Amino acid sequence: MKTSFNPIVLTIRLVFFAFAVSASAVAQTPAETAGKKGPAVQTAESQAALTPASALEKLKKGNARFVEKNMRSRDWVAKVSATAGGQYPFAAILACMDSRAPLEIIFDQGIGDVFGIRIAGNIVNEDELGSMEYATKVVGVKVLVVLGHTSCGAVKGAIDDAKLGNLTGLLAKIRPAVAASGPGSSKDEAYVTKVAQANVSQAMKDIREKSPTIKEQLDAGTIGLVGAIYDVSTGKVTFLPD
């Protein structure tokens, strides 16, 4: 009996062949990945080639890929070794710590692409300003984004004037945005979003007024500053008008 015509053996051979093909597809070298998908990681050259507008466009396109379920496949471990010697991210994003808004995922970015500065309610303090000054002046990012989001617990806490240990002082930084938004309830999601937008605007104002280093770069046009709101129910980031 010739075993090569045994249907069971043939099936096993086909399954093994399919596995071998898929395994070889996964085991691409960084060079192969780079050839097929553009630069594997940001480099000094790719960072320098970007403008504030084109850096923002990369974030917009990344979020569109996320929403459309068209995210890039990435060899994460290859990116770890490719970025071990240095980083050349193109954006710094001041965002809330909310677990539903992980930055690299919602903007479909890889390792070494963006700085994430995350704190409840995406409020601005001196430490975050220092981080943004480092990101722009030392590392060379092209765009700063302040990202608020819908249904933000910190914003709701500020609306309710909640008190809890060290959180009290953090929420106090959001109170001006509550005052600027008029009366409303933390149970009204539209009102919560309105306050979140006012809080983003407040953060952008704080950045300009409290960091001469960043203001100087904004005035020179070497970096951009934009506000945005992430919708936790749709995954979409809406950039706010200037």
- Tell me which of 152, 177, 207, 229 binds Zn ion, using CB under 5 A: 152
Q: Which is nearer to Zn ion, 154 or 171 (CB)?
A: 154
Interacting residues of 122 by C-beta distance below 8 A, sequence separation 6+: 94, 95, 96, 146, 147, 148, 199, 200, 203
Residues 153-192 that bind Zn ion (CB under 5 A): 154
Neighbours of 127 (CB within 10 A): 10
Q: Which is nearer to Zn ion, 132 or 154 (CB)?
A: 154
- Tell me which of 93, 96, 223, 225 binds Zn ion, using CB under 5 A: 96
- The Cα 90–Cα 36 span in angstroms is 21
Q: How far apart are the first and last CA of the chain?
A: 78
Stretch that binds Zn ion, among 13-21, 31-39, 93-101, 171-179 (CB under 5 A): 93-101
Least distance to Zn ion from the beta carbon of 96, Å?
A: 3
- The Cα 203–Cα 229 span in angstroms is 13
- Tell me which of 40, 50, 75, 98 binds Zn ion, using CB under 5 A: 98
Q: Which is nearer to Zn ion, 30 or 116 (CB)?
A: 116
| Paired residues of 148 in beta bridges | 229
Binding site for Zn ion (CB under 5 A): 96, 98, 152, 154
